[in-house]
Amino acid sequence: MPTNRVPKGVRGGGQFAASAHMEPDLSITNADFPSVGDADVDQLRALAESNDPLVRAEVTSSIRVPDDVLERLAEPDQPPAVRLAAVNTGYAGTADRAAEDPHPLVRAAALTGWDLSDAHRERLAHDPKVQRVMGLISH
């Protein structure tokens, strides 16, 4: 026989009713690293070396990210999510760099770039893997 979560006749009571509690005495912020939006160039360089690919991808969103850091985050040894974030910045040169990427999703993102050369645009327009990705995201 199933147990009722709230016994009959008890309004808002029972095992799963809200109860008062204290807030935890825990902070997950790191005073050495502000948010990416507030980070200076040296802090961005340090964050770009993070073991966490999501942190590296977030670095690309800073308006202060140096070109050499953005180029490093677009290199093929970076995870595809980091390279995709780099091409989606829209900074000059990112689309042409991503047009040569090994991952078709990154190349597809390059195809939408304003700075993609005509030669790369023509090649990507006929790249079957890129066209498959474009077909998947356009439906």
Q: Write the pLDDT tens digit of every residue in 21-49.
A: 565 554 444 445 567 777 889 999 999 99
3-state secondary structure of 34: coil
| CA angle at 96 for the pair 90 and 101, rounded to the nearest 5° | 105
> Which tens digits make up the pLDDT trace of 50-99?
899 999 999 998 888 999 999 999 999 999 999 999 998 888 888 899 89
Q: Give 104-127 pLDDT, tens digit per residue.
A: 999 999 888 888 999 999 999 999
Per-residue CA distances from 69 to 48, 57, 80, 108 (Å): 7, 11, 16, 22
State pTM to two decimals.
0.68
